[in-house]
């Protein structure tokens, strides 16, 4: 999640745990602790792919953060002026302010290495977008009450309760979407294909469905207000013929570990060289995928590993017109919102007649 949300979550947790004893200090310290795991963005791991896949790594490990929280609790119990606070309360304060950060991150699409240093794929159970105003505002409202009144506990506790209720709503919304999706996939013989169901930007009412079907991937949008209307899938190429070449490369293999099968491969002409590029299909939106990386260049017909660089067009992060169309699609499937309109023609394989 974004830095403001993580700071708000840490502040709310800190206030709920020790706000009665520390007042505003619990909120402020909690906010600092809540942002601490994201300091890994300042670490250079060597290249663009490493920086991309190591983010939310060891600094988001439940093992590491629990250990750090325990150390801070022991130090506070020994040196803090508030000597009447029991060690168990200090421990709950520090550990919960720290570990709630990666646990919330794991509810987004990016992937969080909760179990580092165990060699497991990043955890991702996407039920919220990386920026969700409704979730953040409930936390900020509670924190505001604490800062204004000086009662560091009641406001944050209510903020946590409301924000947690929102997460439960998001989980229920995803279950509903997946329940509606199952018979459609079974009818088309796609029930066993890798799938990703995630919310579209800034809401939990409209969901994006991505299916990987060998050489192709399918995209659809499903709203909670669609009723029994079946999703309309659009089909795109994903350059699967280049996948073996990419997986033979160290950085290509690393990207596959991080993003699983949700990668698209292509050859681009960059500075006069044929360059193999991998794009993470999970993040962003069709036509506006946020992360693409160079992996290799072709010389005399053979692929040679190249220093990975990130390719990020200036307008890939946001498009107000598209966001407006997404907002309209939440409440009505008509007129249809066709993601193929935003994708280069060379990738489009099949679209519904309505597109």
**Rounded mean pLDDT of 227-231?**
89
Contact 12, 147 (CB under 8 A): no
> Which candidate, 288, 293, 178, places its Cα nearest to that of 231?
178
What percentage of the chain reaches a pLDDT higher than 70?
98
Which residues does 122 contact at the CB level (< 8 Å), separation at least 6? 56, 110, 111, 112, 113, 114, 258
Strand-strand pairing, 216-223 and 234-237: antiparallel
Given this model, what pLDDT does residue 318 score?
53
Given this model, what pLDDT does residue 354 score?
84
pLDDT, tens digit (0-9, with 9 covering 90-100), for 175-209: 999 999 999 999 999 999 999 999 999 999 999 99
pLDDT, tens digit (0-9, with 9 covering 90-100), for 244-268: 999 999 999 999 999 989 999 999 9
> Which candidate, 173, 166, 107, 104, places its Cα nearest to that of 330?
173
Given this model, what pLDDT does residue 313 score?
61
pTM of the model: 0.94
pLDDT, tens digit (0-9, with 9 covering 90-100), for 284-324: 889 889 899 999 999 988 999 999 999 976 444 457 788 88
Given this model, what pLDDT does residue 316 score?
46
Query: Diameter of the chain by CA atoms?
Result: 73
- pLDDT band for position 139 (cuts 50, 70, 90): very high
Q: Alpha-carbon torsion 15, 16, 17, 20, what sign?
A: positive
Given this model, what pLDDT does residue 312 score?
73
The number of beta carbons lying within 10 Å of the beta carbon of residue 75 is 12
Question: Could you write out the three-class secondary structure of the chain?
Answer: CCHHHHHHHHHHHHHHHHHHHHCHHHHHHHHHHHHHHHHHHHCCCCCHHHHHHHCCCHHHCHHHHHHHHHHHHHHHHHHCCCCCCCHHHHHHHHHHHHHHHHHHHCCCCCCECCCCCCCCCCECCCCCCCCCHHHHHHHHHHHHHHHHHCCCCHHHHHHHHHHHHHHHHHHHHHHHHHHHHHHHHHHHCCCCCCEEEEECCCCCCEEEEEEEECCEEEEEEEECCCCCCCCCCEEEECCHHHHHHHHCCHHHHHHHHHHCCCEEEEEEEECCEEEEEEEECCCCCCCCCCCEEEEEEEECCEEEECCCCEECCCCCCCCHHHHHHHHHHHHCCCCCCCHHHHCCHHHEEECCCCC
For residue 331, the cross-strand partners are none
pLDDT, tens digit (0-9, with 9 covering 90-100), for 29-73: 999 999 999 999 999 999 999 999 999 999 999 999 999 999 999
What percentage of the chain reaches a pLDDT higher than 90?
83
> Which candidate, 131, 218, 204, places its Cα nearest to that of 166?
204
Given this model, what pLDDT does residue 334 score?
85
Give the separation between CA 140 and CA 160, rounded to whole angstroms. Answer: 10
């Amino acid at each position: 999640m974004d830095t403001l949300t993580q700071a708000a979550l840490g502040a709310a947790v800190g206030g709920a745990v020790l706000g009665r004893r520390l007042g505003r200090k619990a909120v402020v310290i909690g906010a600092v602790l809540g942002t601490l795991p994201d300091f890994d963005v300042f670490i250079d791991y060597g290249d663009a792919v490493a920086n991309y896949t190591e983010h939310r790594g060891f600094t988001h490990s439940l093992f590491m953060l629990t250990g750090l929280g325990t150390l801070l609790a022991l130090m506070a119990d020994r040196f803090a002026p508030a000597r009447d606070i029991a060690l168990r309360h200090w421990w709950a304060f520090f550990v919960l302010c720290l570990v709630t950060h990666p646990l919330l991150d794991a509810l987004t699409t990016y992937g969080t290495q909760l179990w580092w240093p165990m060699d497991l794929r990043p955890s991702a159970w996407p039920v919220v977008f990386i920026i969700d105003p409704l979730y953040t505002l409930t936390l900020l409202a509670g924190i505001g009450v604490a800062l204004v009144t000086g009662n560091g506990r009641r406001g944050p506790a209510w903020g946590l309760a409301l924000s947690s209720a929102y997460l439960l709503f998001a989980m229920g919304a995803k279950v509903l979407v997946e329940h509606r999706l199952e018979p459609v996939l079974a009818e088309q013989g796609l029930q066993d294909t890798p799938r990703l169901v995630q919310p579209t930007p800034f809401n939990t009412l409209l969901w994006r469905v991505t299916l990987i079907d060998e050489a192709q991937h399918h995209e659809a949008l499903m709203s909670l207000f669609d009723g029994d209307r079946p999703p309309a899938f659009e089909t795109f190429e994903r350059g699967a013929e280049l996948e073996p070449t990419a997986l033979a490369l160290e950085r290509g293999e690393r990207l596959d570990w991080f993003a699983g099968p949700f990668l698209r491969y292509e050859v681009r002409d960059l500075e006069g060289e044929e360059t193999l590029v991998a794009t993470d299909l999970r993040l962003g939106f069709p036509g506006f995928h946020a992360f693409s990386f160079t992996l290799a260049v072709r010389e005399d017909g053979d692929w040679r590993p190249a220093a990975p660089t990130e390719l990020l067009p200036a307008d890939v992060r946001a498009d107000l017109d598209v966001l407006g169309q997404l907002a309209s699609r939440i409440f009505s499937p008509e007129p249809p919102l066709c993601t193929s309109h935003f994708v280069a023609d060379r990738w489009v394989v099949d679209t519904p007649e309505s597109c």
